[in-house]
Amino acid sequence: MTLNLGVIGTGAIGRDHIRRCSTTLSGARVAAVSDIDPVQARAAIAPFESEALLFETGEALIASPSVDAVLVTSWGPTHAAFVHAAIAAGKPVFCEKPLATTAADCLSIVKAEAATGKRLVQVGFMRPYDSGYRALRQVLRDNTLGTVLMIHAAHRNPTVGANYTTDMAITDTLIHELDVLRWLIEDDYVSAQVIFPRRSRHARADLRDPQIVLLETAKGIRIDVEIFVNCRYGYDIQCEIVGEEGIARLPEPSAVTLRHQARLGTPILTDWKDRFIAAYDVELQDFIDGVRDGALKGPSAWDGYAAAVAADACVLAQRTGAVEPIVLDRAAAGV
Amino acid sequence: MTLNLGVIGTGAIGRDHIRRCSTTLSGARVAAVSDIDPVQARAAIAPFESEALLFETGEALIASPSVDAVLVTSWGPTHAAFVHAAIAAGKPVFCEKPLATTAADCLSIVKAEAATGKRLVQVGFMRPYDSGYRALRQVLRDNTLGTVLMIHAAHRNPTVGANYTTDMAITDTLIHELDVLRWLIEDDYVSAQVIFPRRSRHARADLRDPQIVLLETAKGIRIDVEIFVNCRYGYDIQCEIVGEEGIARLPEPSAVTLRHQARLGTPILTDWKDRFIAAYDVELQDFIDGVRDGALKGPSAWDGYAAAVAADACVLAQRTGAVEPIVLDRAAAGV
Amino acid sequence: MTLNLGVIGTGAIGRDHIRRCSTTLSGARVAAVSDIDPVQARAAIAPFESEALLFETGEALIASPSVDAVLVTSWGPTHAAFVHAAIAAGKPVFCEKPLATTAADCLSIVKAEAATGKRLVQVGFMRPYDSGYRALRQVLRDNTLGTVLMIHAAHRNPTVGANYTTDMAITDTLIHELDVLRWLIEDDYVSAQVIFPRRSRHARADLRDPQIVLLETAKGIRIDVEIFVNCRYGYDIQCEIVGEEGIARLPEPSAVTLRHQARLGTPILTDWKDRFIAAYDVELQDFIDGVRDGALKGPSAWDGYAAAVAADACVLAQRTGAVEPIVLDRAAAGV
Amino acid sequence: MTLNLGVIGTGAIGRDHIRRCSTTLSGARVAAVSDIDPVQARAAIAPFESEALLFETGEALIASPSVDAVLVTSWGPTHAAFVHAAIAAGKPVFCEKPLATTAADCLSIVKAEAATGKRLVQVGFMRPYDSGYRALRQVLRDNTLGTVLMIHAAHRNPTVGANYTTDMAITDTLIHELDVLRWLIEDDYVSAQVIFPRRSRHARADLRDPQIVLLETAKGIRIDVEIFVNCRYGYDIQCEIVGEEGIARLPEPSAVTLRHQARLGTPILTDWKDRFIAAYDVELQDFIDGVRDGALKGPSAWDGYAAAVAADACVLAQRTGAVEPIVLDRAAAGV
């Protein structure tokens, strides 16, 4: 049976997922859309599904019997309400990050989902679907490295927009590392510290860039993540895992090696959208397959909550300069 | 509209394509199957499409109004007849390699298709769908290398089965280079020479392994391809293009870099099936999209014929030790 | 004129320098030796210089008119006295690290040398003579990276002896990074912090291994150095410099690339002595040339003092867990 | 005892060796020089050895009791006579390539040396002294690759002078591969073939560039060498050895890895003089040590003869397009 998806929010990411479900993925179709701008919603679906239904509100879409599962790709502050509605309707929901804008709201979703006794929520963290990270995780599972002791990571953008602020280095940028590293090592963060190196002259005067975030996990693993969003040279994601027996490094994106003009090397991507483009396909196919199989396996509401709590501590650490604790409320969540 | 595919031949590659169309690709379903062993055909389709039709013969499948397009994945010697039947029925056909077992039969298909005035045939050469070769071709199209002068290539298998013969180094192994290199440089071969280096002790006594094939193209490009099917260390495909301004090399498969046991490096694949696994998906999706758009773009019957003619010359050169000409019969083909 | 060297201390490193001066380097000969064990001293010089003089004490050697310049390769705690004696005699002296066992004694040497108005002392830090670090420094001098913002470094040994203690991670291991990084960026350290990740099970129970040292410089550059002396896989020195315009990484040691047993890669050295072996030659030739030219250019007494002060702060930071200041006494040194 | 060298010919390479012996190497001094231009000879030695003797002829220099060993760095056509004179005088002689301008003259030197019963001649092939080739040879000696079956090599220059002719691709360029590959695999060539790919537009109209030389050895190893002297992008020497168990590749020159301007990579050398600069030091030190030890180990007169015979066959093969035999006259040489 083809899965009937309803998409709430037809901005860039929403349209991208509509295209993906319609032309690339298997087993689903977009049966319904909704947007605060119905003209945009209609334009988004028209090239792909002439018979899709248009709903005035996300709530109406969720309630429709024509919708089996929901994709929430609307404005961030609206996510939590739509996810709650989907949970209430007993329908699986894929929610782009953030799951909610506060850790408390994330926790509320965790609780609501737990109360249903079923797994219904997948959060749109795509890094665990990247083939490089998956290969890295396989190395860890094969125990080639022995026990993990340290991770050295970096998240570098060539440049950022004028409205990018110091805390967005955590909430928009580091958030991906907070999710994927936790998934890699199957461990939880217990503290965070932020160090501000000399500022790049390419950063705006009110932006601290680069930053270094130091994390500690429950098992004592130490993680350093360089965040550098005006690095100029390219979009570059690095991850090196140091274990008792050896070290593994995230693959560089596959590229042609050139010998040209006195240089031996490969191109570096400059547009972040190219870096994980294949991962989005795998991610959404996994959601579709998970719904059809009745067993979602991707990033959960709890994962979304854990990332949110860690991000909050990092933002606090930016301000205090101190080592800030990271505490998950397992009791409240009933997990 | 979902495309209804009919699959003729449900051996390993047929079953793989059935799975691919049913669980991974978009826009098509397997509506019909046929095999000389109907029990196997039924078992092949059962997990994916309960409503698929089972035909006793490939010809019947091709004739069925329930089938929009045909996949020929049967035993090689049967390919040509099924492709001719599909052409006669005016239905698009994807034929696994070889298109036919002789160059003359390939040419006959080219003529039959040309007589319909439509492009109907795609040959199952998957290398042009590999992301690495595509990146290499983009470098050529960007003219980064200037005019191409030479190609150094290698095709290495860790080992081969007991029934692998000296001429299969051409017809089963080199055939992929014959196709993809021609596609890369948009040029035709004019001669071939084969050199036999010292034999590896891991090759059976009656097998010449390794071999070096030297090709010349119409534009004067010189190509050397090492074929080494008992190389022991892994399945390894190399391609280096030397141009007037620089050199480009096919990417190595993406892999985690390890520092472990006094070695810095990456794993090498050992199973050929893993090397181009993603290319098979892209290839068949391109066929599906091409049929739906009414414009096939993949390897054509002419490409299949050109590879067959070049392979024949290489096999002859194995025996004579001389430089053998490669001549395409454009007049007969009407191209 | 051939330079007549006197060598004080004929243990492993002393004998190595005798061999080096006698069979590899240009412009000098070992004219005199001294050791607390005269039998060993005689045995050390015998294969190379039959006419070399043997002195009962280092002081007598220094005073001899047959000695133009002095190499101090004796037990660490004796270094300072011999260096002072050489300064007092107005003779150039190459002193293996440490220059002295305390920062105060290093400072005393700086003052004594300054009082002579001449540069007489070179400290045996060999990393600035390594071709890789020199290439890295050239990149900085070419300003390819723009202003330096961060350095990520690692110093890894496969294993250490039973008497290696937690503070030796600083005084024996990190000391090389403290010297060479300061030389690379031409900047001084202002603070240090030490973090202890999860301990490797290969480390003895009383040894904290690995460790991460965080340094800040006067210009605000942030440096992290992983020290991991039971890393198992090899002896591995890493240094990555992040600047405003790009990133440069210390070359891996040159090695044959192998495709073998399903692995593509290069060997990693396991013996530290092989890693900087060429640098020792360049270092000592530079001392010889510097003495003959009347202008020593290598690591100075001040460099030895600066490394000692930074090391003291790091050892303190190991104990306190806090950020410890690093303060050089420029006034006392008269620099 | 310091070895007294006499240098015949004070052009660029002669002056370079004078500097090398005077400031870098151990155990020798330049005691005498000679040149057809005595003013140049005097100027060449003046900065290094005020007491060196100046001779009007190479013969007089060779005859002088002040000279222990001879370096022949004069114009190629004069080499053979000076080498014969040194042999006649019983003095060790290091002769820059070519040993003689014809294979017959090389053979004459082999015979003259053999008649003395002593090893006296070293030919100035420096590649066997390159650390990369030595590492490659060690891999072969460790038998990591098993029996060698093929070699793929390339010799690329960014550009060449206006007087570089098609045959110089063999006599000036390939000659180094002819020497070093023979040394690597300890085998002799038995035939040569030359293929001319499409000409680069950067080559002058009368120069065939690139070229591919195919060599066969006595053991059946097949070697292909690409010679491309207008490759534009850099000076690049490649060597890949394919054995029964794996493949080894000559190391790239050590270089800083940069991430800069959307490129990840290393610089490629553009000046050939930088590529083997360290090898010249090792080569000449080995000659000095060999003379002092009474046992020369470097490239012999026979090696010079073997390279000359192979080069002659390659030049013939350029003209005939055929496979030309390579035959060494062992009987005449008495080896």
Q: Is residue C332 part of a domain?
A: no
Q: CA-to-CA distance for C305 and C179, rounded, in angstroms?
A: 10
Question: Measured between CA atoms, how close is D231 to chain A, in angstroms?
Answer: 9
Q: Could you say which DSSP state residue D174 is in?
A: I
Q: CA-to-CA distance for B330 and B263, rounded, in angstroms?
A: 53
Which of C147, C148, C150, C219 best tests the A interface by mutation, with the highest count of A CBs <10 A?
C150
Is a pLDDT exceeding 90 seen at residue B50? no
Residue with tokens 């520092």: B259
Question: Measured between CA atoms, how close is A288 to chain D, in angstroms?
Answer: 36
Binary contact (D260, C245; C-beta < 8 A): yes
Interface of C with B (CB under 8 A): 158, 232-234, 236, 252, 258-270
Question: Which chains have 3 or more CB–CB distances shorter than 8 Å to chain B?
Answer: A, C, D
- Helix (H) or strand (E) run with residue D103 in it: helix D103-116
Task: Identify the band that residue B171 occupies on the pLDDT scale cut at 50, 70 and 90.
Answer: very high
pLDDT, tens digit, for every residue of C274-304? 999 999 999 999 999 999 999 999 999 999 9
Of C252, C259, C268, which has the smallest distance from its Cβ to B263's Cβ? C268
Is a pLDDT exceeding 90 seen at residue B161? yes
Three-state SS sequence of B75-113 = CHHHHHHHHHHHHHHCCCEEEECCCCCCHHHHHHHHHHH
- Mean pLDDT value of segment B302-314: 98
Structure tokens at C61: 């050697």
Beta-bridged to residue A249, according to DSSP, are A240, B257
pLDDT, tens digit, for every residue of D152-161? 999 999 999 9
- Mean pLDDT value of segment B233-256: 98
Question: Which chains have 3 or more CB–CB distances shorter than 8 Å to chain C?
Answer: A, B, D
pLDDT, tens digit, for every residue of A155-175? 999 999 999 999 999 999 999
Is a pLDDT exceeding 70 seen at residue B319? yes
Beta-bridged to residue B243, according to DSSP, are B148
The helix-helix angle for D79-89 and D103-116 (nearest 10°) equals 10
Q: CA-to-CA distance for D283 and A76, rounded, in angstroms?
A: 69
Q: CA-to-CA distance for C256 and D241, rounded, in angstroms?
A: 11
For C127-210, list the strands marked E by DSSP.
Answer: 148-156, 189-195
Note whether A324 and A193 are within 8 A (CB).
yes
Binary contact (B260, A249; C-beta < 8 A): no
Q: DSSP H helical segments within chain C, as ranges?
A: 12-23, 38-45, 58-63, 79-89, 103-116, 131-141, 168, 175-185, 272-275, 277-293, 301-320, 330-333
Shared domain for C182 and C293, answered yes or no, is no
pLDDT, tens digit, for every residue of B202-236? 999 999 999 999 999 999 999 999 999 999 999 99
Of D246, D252, D258, which has the smallest distance from its Cβ to C246's Cβ? D258
Question: Which chains have 3 or more CB–CB distances shorter than 8 Å to chain A?
Answer: B, C, D
Q: Which amino acid is at B184?
A: L
Residue C285's CATH number? 3.40.50.720
Question: Taking CB atoms and an 8 Å cutoff, what residues of chain D touch A250?
Answer: none
Binary contact (A254, B250; C-beta < 8 A): no
Question: Measured between CA atoms, how close is D199 to chain C, in angstroms?
Answer: 31
Question: Taking CB atoms and an 8 Å cutoff, what residues of chain A touch D264?
Answer: 252, 265-268
Shared domain for B117 and B151, answered yes or no, is no
Number of domains in chain B: 2
Q: What is the phi-psi region of residue C275: left when phi exceeds 0, alpha when psi lies from -120 to 50, beta otherwise?
A: alpha
Binary contact (A214, C195; C-beta < 8 A): yes
Residue with tokens 């090689």: B76
Q: Is residue D333 part of a domain?
A: no
Is a pLDDT exceeding 80 seen at residue D226? yes
Q: CA-to-CA distance for B241 and B247, rounded, in angstroms?
A: 6
Binary contact (C248, D256; C-beta < 8 A): yes
Question: Measured between CA atoms, how close is B229 to chain C, in angstroms?
Answer: 14
Identify the pLDDT of residue C197. 98
Q: CA-to-CA distance for B203 and B168, rounded, in angstroms?
A: 14
Q: Is residue A194 part of a domain?
A: yes
pLDDT, tens digit, for every residue of A272-287? 999 999 999 999 999 9
Note whether C90 and C116 are within 8 A (CB).
yes
Shared domain for B290 and B252, answered yes or no, is no
HSE, CB side, 13 Å, CA atoms: give it for residue A177. Answer: 29
Q: CA-to-CA distance for A33 and A10, rounded, in angstroms?
A: 8
- Mean pLDDT value of segment A210-238: 98
Strands A189-195, A211-217: pairing is antiparallel
Is a pLDDT exceeding 90 seen at residue A241? yes
In B, minimum Cα distance to D144 occurs at B233
Identify the pLDDT of residue B25. 97
Question: Measured between CA atoms, how close is B268 to chain C, in angstroms?
Answer: 5
Is a pLDDT exceeding 80 seen at residue A246? yes
Is a pLDDT exceeding 90 seen at residue D56? yes
Q: Is residue D334 part of a domain?
A: no
Question: Measured between CA atoms, how close is A255 to chain D, in angstroms?
Answer: 10
Which of D235, D257, D260, D264 best tests the A interface by mutation, with the highest count of A CBs <10 A?
D264
pLDDT, tens digit, for every residue of C206-265? 999 999 999 999 999 999 999 999 999 999 999 999 999 999 999 999 999 999 999 999
Question: Measured between CA atoms, how close is B257 to chain A, in angstroms?
Answer: 5
Listed residue (B53, B33, B56) closest to B44, CA to CA: B33
Shared domain for D122 and D155, answered yes or no, is no
Identify the pLDDT of residue B335. 63
Binary contact (C233, B270; C-beta < 8 A): no
Q: How many CB pairs under 8 A join C and D?
A: 86
Shared domain for D32 and D89, answered yes or no, is yes
Question: Taking CB atoms and an 8 Å cutoff, what residues of chain A touch C245?
Answer: 232-233
Please give the biggest Cα pair distance in chain A.
63
Note whether D116 and D297 are within 8 A (CB).
no
Identify the pLDDT of residue A78. 97
Of B199, B232, B242, which has the smallest distance from its Cβ to D245's Cβ? B232
Structure tokens at D289: 């040590």
Q: Is residue A309 part of a domain?
A: no
Question: Taking CB atoms and an 8 Å cutoff, what residues of chain A touch B258?
Answer: 139, 144, 246-249
Of C202, C212, C246, which has the smallest distance from its Cβ to A244's Cβ? C202
Q: Which amino acid is at A65?
A: P
Q: What is the mean pLDDT of chain D?
A: 97
Q: What are phi and psi of C7, to 5 degrees?
A: -110, 120
Question: Taking CB atoms and an 8 Å cutoff, what residues of chain D touch B150?
Answer: 197, 210, 212, 226
Shared domain for B101 and B135, answered yes or no, is no
Q: DSSP H helical segments within B145-262, as ranges?
A: 168, 175-185
Task: Identify the band that residue B332 occupies on the pLDDT scale cut at 50, 70 and 90.
Answer: confident
Q: Is residue A314 part of a domain?
A: no
Question: Taking CB atoms and an 8 Å cutoff, what residues of chain A touch B289?
Answer: 23
Q: Which residues contact D324 (CB under 8 A, 6 or more apart)?
A: D191, D192, D193, D313, D314, D316, D317
Shared domain for C45 and C177, answered yes or no, is no
- Helix (H) or strand (E) run with residue D53 in it: strand D53-55
Question: Which chains have 3 or more CB–CB distances shorter than 8 Å to chain D?
Answer: A, B, C
Is a pLDDT exceeding 90 seen at residue C331? no
Q: Is D39 exposed, middle or buried (0-12, 13-18, 19+ CB in 10 A)?
A: exposed
Shared domain for D60 and D198, answered yes or no, is no
Shared domain for D198 and D266, answered yes or no, is yes
Residue C147's CATH number? 3.30.360.10
Note whether D71 and D16 are within 8 A (CB).
no
Question: Measured between CA atoms, how close is C304 to chain B, in angstroms?
Answer: 33
Kindly provide the b/e burial profile for residues C152-183, where b requires at least 16 CB atoms within 10 angstroms of the residue's own CB.
bbbbbbbebeeebebebbbbbbbbbbbbbbbb
Is a pLDDT exceeding 80 seen at residue A335? no
In B, minimum Cα distance to A19 occurs at B26
**ipTM of the predicted assembly exceeds 0.90:** yes
Q: Is residue B102 part of a domain?
A: yes
Kindly provide the b/e burial profile for residues B33-44, where b requires at least 16 CB atoms within 10 angstroms of the residue's own CB.
bbbeeeebbeeb
Q: Could you say which DSSP state residue D170 is in?
A: I
Alpha carbon A48 to its chain centroid, in Å, reads: 26
Shared domain for C179 and C321, answered yes or no, is yes
Question: Taking CB atoms and an 8 Å cutoff, what residues of chain C touch B263?
Answer: 233, 263, 265-268
Task: Identify the band that residue D1 occupies on the pLDDT scale cut at 50, 70 and 90.
Answer: confident
Q: Is residue B99 part of a domain?
A: yes
Q: CA-to-CA distance for D310 and D299, rounded, in angstroms?
A: 16
Q: CA-to-CA distance for D279 and D293, rounded, in angstroms?
A: 20
Shared domain for D45 and D169, answered yes or no, is no
Shared domain for C137 and C267, answered yes or no, is yes
Question: Taking CB atoms and an 8 Å cutoff, what residues of chain A touch B251?
Answer: 254-257, 266
Supply the range of the domain harboring residue C155: 128-274+308-325
Interface of C with D (CB under 8 A): 22-27, 131-132, 135-136, 139, 144-145, 245-261, 266, 285, 289
pLDDT, tens digit, for every residue of D200-222? 999 999 999 999 999 999 999 99
Of B252, B260, B262, which has the smallest distance from its Cβ to C264's Cβ? B252
Instruction: Tell me the DSSP string of A128-194.
Output: GGSHHHHHHHHHHHTTTT-SEEEEEEEEE-S---TT--TTHIIIIIIHHHHHHHHHHHT--EEEEEE
CA distances from D119 to B34, D96, D122 (A): 79, 17, 9
